[in-house]
Structure 1
Amino acid sequence: MKDRYNNSIYLLRFTGIFLLLGLTFFSCTPKGASETDKKENNVNAKDPDKIVITQQQFESGEMELGKITLQEFNTVVKANGMFAVPPQNKADVSAYFAGYVKDIDLLPGDTVKKGQVLFTIENPEYVQVQRDFLEAIGRLDYLRSDYERQKSLMADNVTSQKNYLKAESEYKVTLAQYQSLKKQLTLMNINPNTLSGDNIRSVISVLSPLSGYATAVNISKGMFLNPSDIAVTVTNTDDLHIELKIFEKDLPAVKIGQPINFRLQNNTDHVYKGKVHLVNRTIDERERTVMIHGDLLNGEDVKRFAPGMYIEGEILTTTSQYPALPSDAVVNIDNDFFALVKETDSTFSKVMIKVGSMDNGYTQILNSNDFGQDAEFLTKGAFNLLTE
C-alpha cells in the first residue's frame, strides 16, 4: 500500500513538470514571433502607404538614407557633332608634275614628319627641264656680259641703239627663262644650286608638307599620277577640336567660354570636358543650324580621338541651385513620382514628389517645402519597395 502511494506521488510530480515545460515553450517562442509578424502585417494592412523595414532588411539590402540638399542644375543646349582639325593641320598631297609612281612605302596610319619623302614619281620630261635650266645658265653668263658691254658702249655713243636693245632683250628673256626653270626645279624638290650635268635625274620625290599621320593613301606603284590627283592625305591631330551643331533658336544662349560636356556616340558612360572657343554667325539655310567650335580641356584626350568621330554634346549655358534628392530616391510609377520618407526607426511613408530638372544624378524637388529640413528619405533601395 505504501509503495503504491509513493508511485502515485512520483507520477503526479513528473506530469506536472512536463505540463510546466510545455506551457513555457508555447507561451514564449511561437507567441512572440506570431505577435511580431502580426504587428508588421497590421501596419501594412492599416495603411498601404506605410512600409516597415527591419534593421536586418536595411543592412542586407545595402539601403541608404539622405536628406533634401541644394544641388547645382545646369541649363544645357544639346548638340551633335564630330572631332575635326583646323584647315592648316590637314594637307592633301599631290605632285606638281605628272608622272608614274615609282616607289611608295606608306600605309594609312603611318606617322610622317615634315619634309619626309612620301613617294617618288618618274617622267622623262623632268630631264628636259633640268637640261633647259643648265643651258639657260650657260647662255645667261654670256648675255649678261654682252648686255653690260653694249650698255657701256651706248653710254659712250660707240655702238648703235639697235645693238644695245638686242643685247638687252636677249639677256632679259634668258634671265626670265632661268628664273622660271629654277622655280620649277624647286617644285620638283631638285636643288638648282647643286644641279649639274652629272646629276640630272628622271625621278623626283614628293615630300610631306607637315608632321602628322597619313590618313589616306590613294596611289600604288606604277600608277600614273596627274597634278589634279590627291595621292596622300596627311593630318596633324595636335590641334584636334570639337565641332558641334546647334539649332538657330539656341544661338542667343551660347557664348564663348561656356563649358561643354560630350560623350562618344557608342560610349555614353564616360563624359569628357571642353569649352566653347568660337561661335559661327552663319546659319545653315538647309538645316537651320549653327556651327560651334570647342577646345578639349584635357590635352591627353587628343591622343584618344581621331578626326571624324561622332560625338553627342551638351553646352552648359546657366547654372542654378535647387533642392534635390538623388535620382535613385525618386521612383516613377505611372508617370507619378514617389519617395519613401522615414517616420520611425523602421517605418517609412510613401509620399508623392513633384519633380523638376534632372542633372548629375540628382532630381529637383519642386515641393521640398512639404517636408521638414530634417526629413530623411530612403535614397537607395526605394525602387524595389515601391514597385512590389
Structure 2
Amino acid sequence: MKINILLFITFGVLLLSCSGKNNKSDENQPTDSLVVISVEQFKAMNMAIGNPTMVKFASEIAVQGVIEPSPNAKAYVTSPIGGLIKSVKVVPSSVVKKGQALFAIDGPEILNTQTLFVETYNQHRIAKANFERISQLSKEGIASQKELLQAESEYRILDAKLHYHRILLGKLGLNPDEIIKGEFSNEAYLVSPIEGTVARVETSVGKPVTTCEPLAEVINTQSLLLKFFIFLNQVNSIKPGQKVEISLPGGGKAYGSVISVGLDANTENKAVECFASISLPANLVLISGTRVSAKVFTNFIEGWALPRTALHEIETGHMVYTLNGSDSLSYFFKKVPIQVGLIQDSIVQVFDSTLSNVLVKGGYELTVEE
C-alpha cells in the first residue's frame, strides 16, 4: 500500500512538470531570461508589435546656410526724378503688390515731366502726319528721297521720346492718357517693382529725393534661396537636383533641391558656395538673412528598417525585444542583440531581415524598469 501511494505522488509530480512546459513560448528558452508583460500592462503602456520593413535610406551631408532672396525676388524702390517726400504709405513688413504706390513725392520736376510729355505727344502727331504725307508724295514722284528720309527721321526720334515719357510717367504712377486730356497732377507716386514684403524704409516725410538713393527694399518671401557652403572634400558629392531638408527656427521644416554648385573655393576656409531652392507652404514666411541648418541627401540605398523606438542601447551595442510567446494573460519577450546601420529621422537601418514580432513601441518602459 505504501508503494502504491509513493508511485501516485511521483506520477503527480511528473504531470505538474509537463503541464508547466505546455505554453506558447519557446521550450528551449529559459523562463528566467524572458520579460513577461501582462495583457493589461501591454494595453496600458500602448505597446505595439511589428516587423522590419524595406525602405530607402539617404546618405546625407549636414550643412549650415542662410536664407537669401533669389536675384529677381529683391528690389529697391528709387525715384527717376528729384523731389520731396510728401507721404510714406507703407511700413516695414507691409505686404505690397507690383505697381502699388509706396511713396508720394512733389516738386517742380513732376509738372515739368508732364508738360514735356504733352509737348512731345503733339510734336509726335505732327511729325507722323508729315511723314505719312511725304511718303505719299514720294510714291507719286513729287517729294525727293532726302525729304522723305528727313521726315522719317524726325518722326522716329519723336516716337522714341514719346515712348520714353510714357515709361517715365508709369514709373511715377501717373496715367499718360489722363495727362493728354489736361488732367495734370501736382504729385507723383513711387511704386513697388515687384510683389512682396517691405523689408526696409529708408526715408521720411519732407526728405529730398535723389535719383540714386534707394528709398525702400521689397523682398518676395515666396521666392527665397538657401545659400550654403561645402568643403572641398565634400563638393564632389553635391550635385544639382539633390533634395535638401531645412530645419527652421521653431522646429519647422522646409524642403528644396540643389540648383547650383560653385566653381571657386573661398580663400579663407576653402569652402564652395552652393544654392538650393526652397518650397514653402502658403502660410509659412521666411525672413531673409535667417541662419539655418540643413541636410543635403546625396545618395539613396534600400535596407530593412525598424522604428527608433524599437531599439535600446546596451553595453555591447543595441538590442530589441521580440515576442517569444503568449497566452491569455501574458506576453513573453526575449532580448535580441542587433546590429544597426544608418539612422534617419524616426527609423533605423537593421541588418537582420529574419526579425519578426518586434516590440516597436513601449519597450522604453521595460528598459527603465530593469
TM-score, normalisation: structure 1: 0.64
Q: Distance between the aligned counterparts of 2:123 and 2:165, measured in 1?
A: 19
Alpha-carbon distance in structure 1 between the residues aligned to 2:264 and 2:32: 57
Aligned residue type for 1:99: G
User: 2:226 maps to which residue?
Assistant: 243
Over residues 232-276 of structure 1, what are the superposed CA-to-partner deviations in whole Å (9 max), with x where a residue is unaligned? Answer: 2233345x2441414143332233333333331321xx544x442
Alignment of 1:37-52 (within 5 A): 49-52=33-36
Q: CA deviation at 1:353?
A: 2.3
Q: Secondary structure at the match of 2:41?
A: helix
Question: Could you tell me how far apart the structure 2 residues matched to 1:221 and 1:187 are?
Answer: 23
How far apart, CA to CA, are the structure 2 residues paired with 1:243 and 1:72? Answer: 25
Q: Distance in 2 between matches of 1:331 and 1:283?
A: 45
Does residue 294 in structure 1 map to residue 274 in structure 2? no
- Alpha carbons 1:251, 1:290 under 8 Å: kept: no
Tell me the equivalent position of 1:280. Answer: 261
Q: Which runs of 5+ in 2 are unaligned?
A: 1-19, 21-29, 131-149
**Aligned CA distance change for structure 1 residues 131 and 383 (closer, same or farther; 3 Å):** closer
Distance 1:89 1:187 in 2: 23
Q: Give the number of the structure whose residues are more often helix, by fraction.
A: 1
Structure 1 runs (4+) deviating above 4 angstroms are: 46-49, 125-142, 175-186, 188-202
* Residue equivalent to 1:384: 365
Q: Is the 8 A contact 1:69 1:324 kept in 2?
A: yes
Tell me the secondary structure at the aligned position of residue 304 of structure 2.
Answer: strand
Counterparts in 2 of 1:5-154, with a 5 A limit? 49-127=33-111
Taking structure 1 as reference, are residues 261 and 187 closer, same or farther at Cα in structure 2, changes over 3 Å only?
A: same
Measured after TM superposition, the shift of residue 313 of structure 1 is 2.7
| Aligned mates of 2:359, 2:161 — CA distance in 1 | 84
Determine the C-alpha separation between the residues in 2 that align with 1:119 and 1:213.
15
For 1:218-257, list aligned pairs within 5 A.
Answer: 218-238=202-222, 240-247=223-230, 248-257=232-241
Cα pair 1:107 1:217 within 8 Å, conserved: yes
Return 5+ residue gaps in structure 1 as ranges. Answer: 1-35, 37-45, 146-167
Task: Give a deviation string over 1:202-259, Cα, whole Å, max 9, x none.
Answer: 5332222233333322222222222232212233345x24414141433322333333
Change (3 A) 1:351 1:191: closer
SS in 2 for 1:56: helix
Q: Distance in 2 between matches of 1:335 and 1:116?
A: 67
Distance in structure 2 (CA, Å) of the matches to 1:139 and 1:71 = 75
CA distance in 2, matches of 1:237, 1:280: 23
| Preserved contact between residue 133 and residue 182 of structure 1 (Cα < 8 Å) | no
The DSSP-based 3-state class of the residue aligned with 1:214 is strand
Task: Tell me whether 1:363 sits opposite 2:348 in the alignment.
Answer: yes
In 1, the alpha carbon distance for the partners of 2:100 and 2:201 equals 15
Matches within 5 A, 1:339-354: 339-345=320-326, 346-354=331-339
Does the CA-based 8 Å contact 2:310-2:358 persist in structure 1? yes
Counterpart of 1:382, as a letter, is G
Q: Which residue of 2 aligns with 1:304?
A: 284
Q: How does 1:152-231 map to 2 (within 5 A)?
A: 183=164, 186-187=167-168, 189=170, 203-231=187-215
Quote the offset at 1:92 in angstroms: 0.4
Q: What corresponds to 1:30 in structure 2?
A: none
Give the conservation status (yes or no) of the 8 Å contact 1:327–1:362: yes
- Alpha-carbon shift at residue 127 of structure 1 (Å): 4.7
Query: Helix, strand or coil: the match of 1:95?
Result: coil
Deviation at 1:132, TM superposition (A): 7.0
**Offset at 1:134?**
7.3
Query: Could you tell me whether the CA contact under 8 Å between 1:101 and 1:224 is conserved in 2?
Result: yes
Q: What is the identity, as a one-letter code, of the residue corresponding to 2:306?
A: L
Match of residue 323, structure 1, among 300, 304, 307:
304
- Structure with the greater alpha carbon radius of gyration: 1
Q: Which moved more, 1:324-333 or 1:337-346?
A: 337-346
Instruction: Find the aligned partners of 2:112 and 2:179 in 1 and give their Cα distance.
Output: 13
Distance 2:183 2:43 in 1: 87
* Distance 1:378-1:201 versus aligned 2 partners, 3 A rule: closer
Aligned length: 312
Q: Which amino acid aligns with 2:239?
A: K
Question: Residue 305 of structure 1 aligns to which amino acid in structure 2?
Answer: V
CA drift of 1:285 comes to: 0.5
Distance in 2 separating the partners of 1:225 and 1:319 = 56
Secondary structure in structure 1 of the residue aligned to 2:234: helix
The structural deviation recorded for 1:93 is: 0.4
- Secondary structure at the aligned position of 2:325 is classed as coil
In 1, distance between residues paired with 2:286 and 2:211?
A: 28
Q: Provide the aligned C-alpha RMSD in A.
A: 4.2
The letter of the residue matching 2:59 is T
CA contact (8 A) 1:132 1:181 kept: no
Q: 1:258 to 1:192 in 2, by over 3 A?
A: closer
Corresponding residue number in structure 2 for 1:156? none
SS of equivalent residue, structure 2 residue 266:
coil
TM-score for both structures, normalised by structure 2: 0.67
Distance 1:305 1:201, change over 3 A: closer
